[in-house]
Structure 1
Amino acid sequence: MSAAPRETTFATVRCGDTHWQIRSDLQQELLDAHGLRRREWEQQQRVEVIKTGAHREVIRLDTAAGRFYIKHYKVAGIKPFLQNVIRPAKAVLEQRMAARVRALGIPTFETVAWAETRSGGFVWDNYLVTREIPGTQPLDGFLRTQFAAMPTADASLFRRRLAVELGRFTGKLHDAGIVHRDFHAGNILIRDQPAAPVQLWLIDLHCAHIQKSLGLEAAQQNLAMLHQFFATRSTRADRYRFFRAYCAQRGLSGSVNSMARDVQACCSRRAQRHWRRKDRKWRQGTRHLVKLRVGSQRGRGLTVLGRDVVRDICAQPEHIFAAATAWYKQSTKRRVAAVAVPTIPQYPRLFWKSLKLRGILPLLSQWLGRSSVRRAWENGHALLRRDIATPKPLLFVESAQGFDVRQYLLTESIPDSATLFDWHHDHLVRLPQRQRREIVRRLTVALAGQLRWLHTCGFEHRDLKSKNILVSQNDNDDRTWLLDLEAIRRWPRVPRDRMLQNLTRLNVSSTFLSEIQLSDRLRFLRNYLGSRYFLEWKSTWQKIEARTGRKIDKNRTNGRPLS
């Protein structure tokens, strides 16, 4: 007869003002008389910082007892302080919720320790230590890396398995009454092993709560959050499989197609409202960005860069060009260079863009907060929020002396990428014919989907051309990124005339790409129009062709080169 498993025991330990609840068998491994053994771990290079910011830090620790994640919730303002007054600290909330979620049979992490720092009768910083779930990674990262590198046949089989398993997992959550207020792909862990079913875990549970029953109406907000990431990464068939598995798990009756359409429409509306609210907060300023004014310069940068780094760049923006490793544009008005900034080691290669303008209109637009770099900054983060790929804007600076206006923008560099124009002429044309055609077909479908989602989200790109589109130089990677974001314009709903202008501009640009054939243009239009294709393809095709001819004739008459 086998022995019963020994129950896990927790010890209460006080280290100064910090009160710990920790597994007895890990106390010596994690704590000393002063608290966490972080200085010792750093000296032994056993710590990796995963996330850092003013309000939270997450580190990964390797020990003889395994790998652990340590969350440090900081009280960096009046809001988190008051939250700790009126309710338990985040670490305690997450520990309690993890225990309840595990009791309901939902896979989640194991908590091994938590702590609160108490002083003056108040709770300040608090900590949560969890054990790593072996072989897992966040679902969003998995889909961006490993899934993107899968062969087409394997990727097709995997997306079917994932749609079904994710539908069951979400249905199980909602059936148990679990509502996660930050339910996105980054808060779901995945383990995918050969010859084994896909396994999923729920994490970041301080944003979760449990209610007695959860109807479809109440579940739609959770589904809307999940929809944001998968909107451009899923097909109608994927969504059908997801909802069929979701309904089967919850025992919901009725037409799956009808339910999927209703939920998707509701999800889209909620997602759009959520994104617009996030956009407004971003314009006003959030804890994720730093706002500074240094003399006549003012700017904003991401918090992860560090306040001192943002201040130094704002004070002397021209000095960044001294670190240029390559120049891409040098004129009296515009300069673009690849730079390596030693104070930003997390980004080995960056792009630094400068605009030099003169006149009352640039000065007025800058004063009103509508300068070119400010628009590019806000548009870039708005697109990323909607999962539209573009290089992340990291920092911008505005300067004005009299009527002379200078503006600067710092963005990340996408590794192993090139503009569509350069990639076509320098790489694609050198490949074998069959490989060229396969790559063009895949890229056409990917670009059409991205442009359709751009317009669905209420954005248009007024200068959509091959030199403003980045593509990966990896032949198995179909991702594309949009550039020149000051040309992005927002609409409550993009007018059809503006959609046609964008498609025409791209079509004019594609005339310089010899590998783009009529069949590729038709394939692009089919994937762009989606379910409207059979009703609208001919009229859309004819209008684009007519506009393309007029655009070419106009440029020739005015002596302007096409690009």
Structure 2
Amino acid sequence: MVVESSPTMVTRSAGSCEWTLVAEDAPVLFPDENLAPKLLLERFSHDELKSGSHRVVFKLQTGNGCYYFKHYKISDWKSRLQNWVRSSRARIEWDHTWKLIELGFDTCLPVAIGEKRKGPVVRDSYLITREIPDSVQLDQFVEKVLPALPERTRRQLRFELARQLGIVTAQLHLKGVQHRDYHAGNVLVSWDETSLKLKLWLIDLHQVSFGSKLKTKQCLRNLALLNSYFSNRGNASDRRRFFRSYWQTFQTKKNGRPRGFQEYKSTLLTIEEFCDQKMWKEFARADQKWERGNRRLVILEGESEQNACRGVSELDRDFLKAVSQNPQNTFGLPLLNKSVSVTKRVTLKGEQGILSGYLTVCDKHSKPKFSARTAWDIGHAFIRRRLSTPRPLLFVEAKEQQWLVTEAIPNSMPLTDYAQSSQAHHLNFQSRRLLTRQLAAQLAWRDRCGFQDNHPTLFNILIQPDSDTFFFLGLGYLEQLNTPVSEKKIIRTLAAWTSGSLPLSGITRTDRLRFLKRYLLEKEGDWKRYWNRIDSKVHSVHSN
């Protein structure tokens, strides 16, 4: 799609709303010259994509293709005051998008901006952009599209993605564009499986500022934003390919590099060190915010003498109070004896409907090392770090018993069951290798994040075969450290998993070796030494 940097514009007014439109799109969006914003939703079939107090986003289906319609609302006095001292949010995005187009970047084409005024102040504002056809968000491309492609195509597009991302990032820095929201969700990808080429598009451009060439600190902060998504996706080869492309793009312009980026290897080390420090700080800050409470959870502990209880904000608050006061009756369970634990499927009353989950009930005698609160905290810490686990929906903790409900993962089964099924036995080489690598990469990232498993077992792995996704269970046995898991504990976990896999006909010795090599890919360790230590520990356990 070719975007003109200066198409013909027309201006129109409809009551208190003033519009600026690209001339060729005006008759498509407003064929009867009635420019009332609400009529767009009556005129075209549409889907509501996002809805909040400040913004609503619709996708409009027209006879001339799809458009995105953003309605920015003035919801409180703060928003009204902001529009006194700066442009409306629609105007900011409109200006930033056209500026990026002038600088040669690929982005969506803005075709209309509307501002509803009351006196000199803009109240609501509207932005309409053309759809970028055959494109998906970068995170969806990495997580959904690439894994479904044939191996050769997947590998080549992965290489091309790293290269293109390096080029675009360097060009942003060279041209003085500081994107303070440079995340995978704000980049679109379009691709061609025949030519094995792809293109990156920048979207949602509120947090963009323009100036001269970025300084070293600004470049590092921008790279750290991108790293927050790719930290546990890809490998060292992908990062080297990205950085090589990033560096070579700087070389095309005389004196293009920032002052702090003068030598290849030292620059690479500087970037990796900065990104790592920033990533761990962000994780720690997010953990603290979650512990204090935010709009995504309901905290009931500390109210009168009721049990400690927390739940996600989607749950009905009255339902959550009933659970916290009498979980036994609310979930319809008989009085449990000591040393008994129960797991059952349950439904929870939510604000927008019913949520489905699995309830685990246990006491200190049946599972003395298990903590429902730990499972809750670590479960959400996993999700923030992009480790797959069923989302914890609520927990209740009393003196003797504890209750935990986690999200039900559809069409999933324990890995131990899957490994003995006919489905596992008929996996082709590529699928088997992909699954093995994915699980190894997830465990390596979990250990790097400092989540130590004090009760390692292969039974605490869930698989969703339709999506080739693994989920960690048994988080109530984990401990969150401030450092990566030690080699001693790593060997313990790997030995426990190996021991659990020996009776499973669907897991071969080759699978275990491939798993270990992928696990150690970014560690300083000889796989043979690890293999021998694991083998020795497994044999010592079985001999006893």
Q: Is 1:508 aligned to 2:510, yes or no? A: no
Change (3 A) 1:352 1:22: farther
- Distance, in Å, in 1 between the alignment partners of 2:179 and 2:59 is 24
- For 2:30, the equivalent position in structure 1 comes to 28
Q: Please, what TM-score do these two structures have when normalized by structure 2?
A: 0.82
Q: 1:244-323 alignment to 2 at 5 Å?
A: 244-251=244-251, 252=257, 256-289=264-297, 296=306, 298-302=309-313, 305=314, 309-317=315-323
- Distance, in Å, in 2 between the alignment partners of 1:69 and 1:5 is 20
Per-residue deviation at 1:241? 1.8
- For 1:350, the equivalent position in structure 2 comes to 356
Q: 1:433-452 alignment to 2 at 5 Å?
A: 435=427, 439-452=431-444
- Which of the residues 15, 18, 40 maps onto 2:42? 40
Per-residue deviation at 1:10? 3.6
Is residue 525–residue 537 contact of structure 1 (8 Å, CA) maintained in 2? Answer: yes
- Distance, in Å, in 2 between the alignment partners of 1:111 and 1:81 is 24
Q: 1:145-294 alignment to 2 at 5 Å?
A: 145-193=144-192, 194-195=194-195, 197-251=197-251, 252=257, 256-289=264-297
Change (3 A) 1:7 1:76: closer
Q: Is 1:407 aligned to 2:403, yes or no? A: yes
- Distance, in Å, in 2 between the alignment partners of 1:84 and 1:399 is 47
- Which of the residues 460, 481, 492 maps onto 2:482? 492
- Distance, in Å, in 2 between the alignment partners of 1:405 and 1:54 is 40
- Distance, in Å, in 1 between the alignment partners of 2:229 and 2:241 is 17
- Distance, in Å, in 1 between the alignment partners of 2:170 and 2:208 is 15
Instruction: Report the secondary structure of 1:37's partner residue.
Output: helix
- Distance, in Å, in 1 between the alignment partners of 2:177 and 2:421 is 52
Q: Is 1:131 aligned to 2:137, yes or no? A: no
Q: 1:511-526 alignment to 2 at 5 Å?
A: 511-526=502-517
| 1:467 aligned partner, one-letter code | F
Structure 2: give runs of 5+ residues left out of the alignment.
252-256, 334-338
Per-residue deviation at 1:62? 0.9
Is residue 376–residue 395 contact of structure 2 (8 Å, CA) maintained in 1? Answer: no
- Distance, in Å, in 1 between the alignment partners of 2:48 and 2:330 is 27
Per-residue deviation at 1:204? 1.0
| 2:187 aligned partner, one-letter code | I
Count of residue correspondences:
515
- For 1:368, the equivalent position in structure 2 comes to none
- Distance, in Å, in 2 between the alignment partners of 1:547 and 1:79 is 62
- Distance, in Å, in 2 between the alignment partners of 1:55 and 1:451 is 39
Per-residue deviation at 1:107? 1.0
- Distance, in Å, in 2 between the alignment partners of 1:396 and 1:77 is 32
- Distance, in Å, in 1 between the alignment partners of 2:401 and 2:34 is 56
Change (3 A) 1:340 1:426: farther
Instruction: Report the secondary structure of 1:198's partner residue.
Output: strand
Structure 1: give runs of 5+ residues left out of the alignment.
325-330, 366-370, 555-563
Change (3 A) 1:540 1:204: same
Is residue 47–residue 59 contact of structure 2 (8 Å, CA) maintained in 1? Answer: yes
- For 1:422, the equivalent position in structure 2 comes to 417
- Distance, in Å, in 1 between the alignment partners of 2:311 and 2:18 is 38
- For 1:396, the equivalent position in structure 2 comes to 394
- Distance, in Å, in 2 between the alignment partners of 1:126 and 1:357 is 55
- Distance, in Å, in 2 between the alignment partners of 1:20 and 1:12 is 5
Is residue 13–residue 35 contact of structure 2 (8 Å, CA) maintained in 1? Answer: no
Q: Please, what TM-score do these two structures have when normalized by structure 1?
A: 0.79
Change (3 A) 1:335 1:220: same
Structure 1 or 2: more helix by fraction:
1
| 1:270 aligned partner, one-letter code | K
Cα-to-partner distance string for 1:233-269 (whole Å, 9 max, x where unaligned): 3232222221121111122586645533432232122
Cα-to-partner distance string for 1:293-345 (whole Å, 9 max, x where unaligned): 8995753324xx4xxx53254145569868x9xxxxxx953333165979756
Tell me which moved more, 54-63 or 202-211.
54-63
Give identity over the alignment, percent. Answer: 29
What is the CA RMSD across the aligned residues, in angstroms? 3.8
- For 2:65, the equivalent position in structure 1 comes to 66
Change (3 A) 1:262 1:205: same
- Which of the residues 518, 522, 530 maps onto 1:527? 518
Tell me which moved more, 380-389 or 311-320.
311-320
- For 1:105, the equivalent position in structure 2 comes to 104
- Distance, in Å, in 2 between the alignment partners of 1:78 and 1:287 is 20
| 2:312 aligned partner, one-letter code | G
Change (3 A) 1:291 1:130: farther
Cα-to-partner distance string for 1:25-71 (whole Å, 9 max, x where unaligned): 15625995753226625xx7x22122233443322111224311122
| 1:40 aligned partner, one-letter code | E
- Distance, in Å, in 2 between the alignment partners of 1:19 and 1:354 is 57
- Distance, in Å, in 2 between the alignment partners of 1:320 and 1:34 is 50
Per-residue deviation at 1:291? 5.2
- Distance, in Å, in 1 between the alignment partners of 2:101 and 2:429 is 50
Is residue 451–residue 485 contact of structure 2 (8 Å, CA) maintained in 1? Answer: no
- For 2:336, the equivalent position in structure 1 comes to none
Change (3 A) 1:341 1:96: same
Tell me which moved more, 202-211 or 283-292.
283-292
